[in-house]
Copies of this chain bind each other. A is one copy, B any other.
Amino acid sequence: MADDKDPGPTQLAPRFSSASPAEVAAGGGLLSRRAVLTGAVVAGALSAVAARAANPDWSDAAKPWQKQPGRPFSRYGQPSVHVREIERSVTLREGDVAPGNGSSFTPLHLLRGTLTPNGLHFERHHNGVPDIDPDHHRLVIHGLVERPLRFDFDALLRYPMVNRTVFIECSGNSFRNTFPKVQEVSCGDIHGLISTSEWTGVPLSLLLAEAGVRADAKWVIAEGADAATMARSIPLAKALDDVLVAFYQNGEPLRPEQGFPMRLVLPGYEGNMSIKWVHRLELTEVPLHARDETSHYTDLLPDGRALQFTFPMGVKSVITQPSAGWDLQGSGYYDVSGLAWTGAGRITRVEVSADGGATWAEAELQGTPPRHGVVRFRIPWRWDGKPTSLASRATDETGAVQPDRATWLARYGATQRYHYNAIQHWAVDAEGRLRNVYA
Interface set of A (CB-CB < 8 Å, partner B)? 1-2, 8-14, 36-37, 39, 42-43, 46, 49, 51-54, 58-60, 63, 65-83, 86-92, 98-100, 102-104, 111-121, 123, 125, 127-138, 140-142, 146-152, 154-155, 158-163, 198-200, 203, 205-206, 209-210, 212, 225-227, 229, 247-248, 250-258, 260-261, 277, 280, 329, 333-335, 337, 366-367, 376, 378, 380
Contact = CB atoms under 8 A, between A and B. Distances in A.
B229 A260 contact: no
A247 to B, nearest CB: 7
B117 A88 contact: no
Nearest to A35: B160
A203 B335 CA distance: 14
A374 to B, nearest CB: 10
A155 B90 CA distance: 31
Most buried by B among A146, A151, A280: A151
B376 A163 contact: yes
Contacts of A258: 77
B8 A255 contact: no
A54 B10 contact: no
A77 B58 CA distance: 42
A12 B208 CA distance: 13
29 contacts: A10-B149, A11-B150, A12-B155, A13-B158, A37-B160, A37-B162, A39-B209, A46-B210, A49-B147, A52-B148, A65-B131, A65-B225, A65-B227, A71-B131, A72-B129, A77-B120, A77-B121, A77-B123, A79-B255, A80-B131, A80-B253, A80-B254, A82-B134, A112-B251, A113-B200, A117-B250, A120-B252, A160-B335, A163-B366
A147 B10 contact: yes
Nearest to A11: B150
Contacts of A42: 159, 206, 209-210
A72 B160 contact: no
B58 A73 contact: no
Contacts of A10: 147-150
Given A76-B88, A113-B198, A120-B77, A100 B70 contact: yes
A42 B117 CA distance: 34
Nearest to A43: B209
Contacts of A60: 136, 138
A74 B248 contact: no
Nearest to A10: B149
A339 to B, nearest CB: 11
Contacts of A198: 113-115
A131 B163 contact: no
A9 to B, nearest CB: 4
A60 to B, nearest CB: 6
B367 A163 contact: yes
Nearest to A153: B1
B71 A253 contact: no
A433 B58 CA distance: 60
Given A42-B210, A209-B39, A225-B66, A76 B252 contact: no
B227 A67 contact: yes
Given A9-B148, A42-B159, A251-B117, A100 B75 contact: no
A395 to B, nearest CB: 21
Contacts of A252: 79, 83, 86, 111, 117, 119-120
A335 B140 contact: no
B9 A142 contact: yes
